[in-house]
Amino acid sequence: MAAEPIVVCHQVSKSFRRGGEEIQVLSSLSLEVPEGQFLALMGPSGSGKTTLLNLIAGLDRPTSGKILVGTDLVSSMSESQLATWRTRHVGFIFQFYHLLSVLTAYENVELPLLLLPLSAARRKQQVLTALELVGLTDRMHHRPGQLSGGQQQRVGIARAIVTNPTLIVADEPTGDLDARSAEEILKLLGELRKGLNKTIIMVTHDPKAADKADRILHLEKGKLVEDTAALSGAAS
Amino acid sequence: MGSYAFWFLVVVGSVVGVAFFALLPFFAFLFIGETTLNALASFNPVSRAAKFASLMFKNLRRNLLRTSLAYLAIFVLVVVVVGVWSILAFLDLVTSEKKRDLKAIVTERWQIPSQMPFAYAQTLSQGAPQKEGDLIVGPEDSMTWQFFGGYTEKERDKQSRDNLVFFFAMEPRKTLTMMDGIEELTPEQLKQLAKALEIAEKDKRAVVIGADRLASMNKRVGESITVYGLNYRGIDLEMNIVGELPKGRWGQIGIMNRDYLNDALDAYPSTHKGERHPLAEKSLNLVWLRVPDSEGFKRVANQIMTSSTYTSPAVKCETAAAGIGSWLDAYRDLIWGMRWLLSPAILIVMSLVVANAISISVRERRGEMAVLKVLGYKPWQILLLVLGEALLIGAISGLLSAGLCQILVNGIIGGVPFGIAFFPSFEIAPNAWWWGLSIGAATAFVGSVWPAWTAQQVRVADVFSKVA
């Protein structure tokens, strides 16, 4: 029996105004992502994949259409509601990690938890659990400047999962890493998906990274042109 | 060339040294603040707020050079503002009317300096009562002032500021009851002064001189001097130093028995071919009268101003506050400029300094602001973060600047000598701590509002969007 869709996009369109011109980035796109699926979004630059990711993650609102994540109609939430929703339901992994340089790894992972009504002890427990999952407990008091690229991305992943979100979105998570580090990160993402049954949506240019996913969506000029199961992801 | 290089190094070294000592307490404050917040982070009711607040402290450590420069700029400017406001506060105090125990000052009406005949002294000292029912000022509530200045060296080429001394010729005992600032003396100082004034009452040659002036003249209590008159040319008085006035407010002046000066003026013709001294009829400079309240002042002033005795020269009677106000009239434009031009200009500059520093910081951290928004931080929390950082720098630098200035000027230096007539050295006002904290925080807030507003408006989609 197929898992229930955790993400549903229905006839989603997004356009931007640049100067006096209206630029259509996404055009009547519909899509469903089952719970626990590892989905890769691919396409050339300007195809709309990052925009789609931003809309699903509640970073932006569509010009038209509906986006449902779990039971929440994300597309009709206000900015303030989206901010609150993101804290609890979405974990972000960025290409360039975007850790706060003045905070230690521990403090960076703890950042989203400061928005939740948790006790200090509970926060500590969740942070340590997240760091343990990514294998960085021995580096938790180091600042980002003292960590390698791969380690920084692990901290980014720990920060993304620390709130136990419904959905993890990753924007080119291996884009700034060497091959070996990239492989480790992708392996980690796969483990998270299997071990915690997390739904992961990843934007990537890298076919090797995409191959780790269960399903690959190709976008071109704002439209879904191909929807395939990844070779290795489908096998698992 | 070598000496220029030397002095250049001295100046640079001094600036660096001062900056270092000004920065040390700031860094100590930041360290203590952050440590305290880290400790509070363990206590649940305040844990999250403490963590958020500690992020502000950490952000200030991000670029220590920029933070230090902003701090030092505010520090220096607060010192200037606090100094200016202390002077203005003092001037406001001395020119504001008291409600009780007013001091009325009688001076010549149309001339500065005031020079009245000593013949006015007796009736003026009583408040010029003319008829029954008029207010009579008691003998212990009045004081005459005559000014005698001169050098302790006779030869012109040896006369200098160091051997110049300026005396108030009065009834010595009234120093203790009528002079301002006597209440500031310690019991021991008061006792010593009383003893010296008692001697001066009986021995007209006995004088009491301020400790600072004695040091300049290289004289001590127990020694004798001859003062060769400066304003009373031809009148040279031999004096015995029987006591000293404490350093500070009265440290530069002397007190002598008025009878000595008046007797010398009376004796002048006998040694100058019968000619009276040019200032014989102009020796009385001021009369002070203590009246119970403003109603009493009005009565005495009316008695004096309507009396036919004081017509040549005419006299005026005003309160001490009004008198000082009149005297300060010559400096009115300067005081106005200090109050309404200089101070606001400095406050604006302070705001601009903070605005510049915070703007650069916000521009550098757009990505971080966007990350915080992505994680779910609301715009008002981003705003609070940036404002908090600015307020920290402003408030701490203002507080430390005013506080250290007060300790240095009042406690160590003993006040800044301003050199205007009888005004004492100026001290930093007791309110300075509060002023420094307020203006530091307020200017930091004003300067950081716009950068904080732009920070909270960062659009996360724009910051993370890819180039097409």
Asked if residue B122 has pLDDT above 80, the reply is yes
User: In Å, what is the CA distance from A111 to each residue of A91, A116, A162, B166, B426?
Assistant: 12, 10, 9, 71, 51
What is the Cα–Cα distance from A158 to B434, expressed in whole angstroms? 46
Q: By percentage, how much of chain A surpasses pLDDT 90?
A: 67
Residue B341 has pLDDT above 70, yes or no: yes
pLDDT, tens digit, for every residue of B175-202? 888 877 777 788 998 899 999 999 999 9
pLDDT digits (tens, 9 = 90+) for B90-100: 888 777 766 66
What pLDDT is stored for residue B463 in this prediction?
Answer: 65
Question: What's the residue count for chain B?
Answer: 468
Question: What pLDDT was estimated at residue B467?
Answer: 33
**φ, ψ for residue B444, nearest 5 deg:** -65, -40
Task: Reduce the DSSP state of residue A18 to 3 states and report it.
Answer: strand
Of A60, A98, A111, the CB nearest to B461: A60
Which CATH number covers residue A143? 3.40.50.300
DSSP classification of residue B179: S
**Contact state of B376 with A84 under an 8 Å Cβ cutoff:** yes
Q: What is the pLDDT of residues A113-163, one digit of tens each?
A: 999 999 999 999 999 999 999 999 999 999 999 999 999 999 999 999 999
Preferred mutation among A15, A111, A221 to probe B, highest tally of B CBs within 10 A: A111
Structure tokens at B57: 């402290």
**What does the mean pLDDT of chain B come to?**
88
- Closest CA of chain A from B35, distance in Å: 15
The per-residue pLDDT for B22 is 87
pTM of the model: 0.74
Number of structural domains in chain A: 1
Half-sphere exposure of A158 (CA within 13 A, CB side): 30
The pLDDT assigned to A204 comes to: 92
Q: Which residues of B touch A158 (CB under 8 A)?
A: none
> Cβ contact (<8 Å) for B58 and A103?
yes
Whether residue B16 has pLDDT greater than 80: yes
Check: complex ipTM more than 0.85: yes
**pLDDT tens figures, B417-445:** 665 555 667 788 888 999 999 999 999 99
How far apart are alpha carbons A206 and B287 in whole angstroms?
A: 98
Asked whether residue B21 carries a pLDDT value surpassing 60, the answer given is: yes
Cβ contacts (< 8 Å) between B59 and chain A: which residues? 102
Q: Identify all chain A residues contacting B43, using CB atoms and an 8 Å cutoff.
A: 120
Q: Is the dihedral of CA B308, B309, B312, B317 positive or negative?
A: negative
| Contact yes or no for B173/B208 (Cβ under 8 A) | no
Looking up tokens 């029954």 gives B132
- Distance of alpha carbon B28 from alpha carbon B42, whole angstroms: 22
Q: What is the pLDDT of residues A58-104, one digit of tens each?
A: 998 999 999 999 999 999 999 889 999 999 999 999 988 899 999 99
- Locate tokens 């010009």: which residue? A63
Domain that holds residue A162: 5-235
Residue B101 has pLDDT above 70, yes or no: no
Which structure tokens are listed for B69? 């420069």
Q: pLDDT band for position B10 (50/70/90)? A: confident
User: Which among A51, A59, A80 has CB closest to B460?
Assistant: A59
A54 touches chain B (CB under 8 A): yes
Tell me whether residues A120 and B43 touch, CB distance under 8 A: yes
Residue B462 has pLDDT above 80, yes or no: no
Question: Residue A46: its chain B contacts at CB < 8 A?
Answer: 466, 468
Determine the distance in angstroms separating the CA of B462 from the nearest CA of chain A, rounded to an integer: 10
Closest residue by Cα to residue B142 from B345, B14, B290:
B290
Closest CA to B272 of B312, B226, B224, B229: B229
Q: Where are the alpha helices (DSSP H) in B307-365?
A: 320-328, 332-337, 343-364
Mean pLDDT, residues B370-382 taken together? 93
DSSP string, B398-445: HHHHHHHHHIIIIIII--B---STT---B---TTHHHHHHHHHHHHHH
What are phi and psi for residue A40, nearest 5 degrees? -110, 135
Beta sheet of A215-220, edge-to-edge order: A90-93, A167-171, A199-203, A38-42, A215-220, A223-229
Residue A229 above 90 pLDDT? no
Residue pair B206/B200 in contact by the 8 Å Cβ criterion: yes
Residue B247: band (very low, low, confident or very high) from pLDDT cuts 50, 70, 90: confident
Instruction: Tell me which amino acid residue B201 is.
Output: E
- CA of B68 vs chain A CAs: smallest distance (Å): 17
Going by C-alpha positions, the residue among B325, B270, B261, B275 that lies closest to residue B97 is B325
Q: For B148-171, how does the pLDDT look when each residue is reduced to its tens digit (9 = 90+)?
A: 999 999 998 999 989 999 999 999
Q: Pick from B48, B370, B374: which is nearest to A114 by CB? A: B48
Residue scoring higher pLDDT (B314 or B99): B314
CA distance A182 to B215: 81
Query: What pLDDT is recorded for position A1?
Result: 46
Residues of A in contact with B376 (CB under 8 A): 83-88, 112, 115
Nearest-Cα distance to chain B for A234, in Å, is: 29
- Asked if A186 and A204 count as a contact pair (C-beta separation under 8 A), the reply is no
Our CA-based measurement puts residue A98 at a distance from the nearest CA of chain B, in whole angstroms, of 7
For the residues B389-393, what does the mean pLDDT come to? 92
- Chain B residues close to A100, C-beta within 8 Å: 55, 368, 371
Q: Which residue has the higher pLDDT, A98 or B330?
A: A98
Which strands make up the sheet holding A5-18, listed edge to edge? Answer: A21-34, A5-18, A64-69, A72-73
Alpha carbon distance A34, A38 (integer Å):
9
**Cis peptide leading into B113, omega within 30 of 0?**
yes
Interface contacts A/B by beta carbons within 8 Å: 74
Which carries the bigger pLDDT value, residue A174 or residue B426? A174
Identify all chain A residues contacting B41, using CB atoms and an 8 Å cutoff: 120
- What does the pLDDT look like over B283-313, one tens digit per residue? 999 999 999 888 889 999 999 999 998 988 9
The predicted model gives B44-60 an average pLDDT of: 91
Amino acid A35 reads E
Higher-scoring residue by pLDDT: B327, A69:
A69
On the question of pLDDT at A15 being above 70, the answer is: yes
CB environment A199-230: b (16+ within 10 A), e (fewer): bbbbbbebeebbbbbbbbbbbeebebeeeeeb
Given a cut of 60, whether residue B325 has pLDDT beyond it is yes
pLDDT at B86 over 70: yes
**Does residue A59 sit at the B interface (CB-CB below 8 Å)?**
yes
Which residues in chain A touch residue B61, judged by CB atoms under 8 angstroms apart?
A: 102
Per-residue pLDDT of A196-221, as tens digits, reads 888 999 999 888 889 889 999 999 88
What pLDDT is recorded for position B254?
94
Q: Give the model's pLDDT for residue A19.
A: 81
The whole-number average pLDDT for the span B325-342 is 83
Inform me whether the C-beta atom of residue A45 falls under 8 Å from chain B C-beta atoms: yes
Residue of B58, B64, B374, B465 to mutate for A, most A C-beta atoms under 10 A: B374
Nearest to B194 by CA among B178, B175, B215, B216: B175
CB contact under 8 A, B372 and A111: yes
HSE value, Cβ hemisphere, 13 Å, CA-based, for A194: 10
Q: Does A98 touch chain B (CB under 8 A)?
A: yes
CB-CB under 8 Å, A102 with B61: yes
Mean pLDDT (whole number) for B131-149: 91
Tokens of B217: 């003249």
C-beta separation of B120 from B145 below 8 A: no
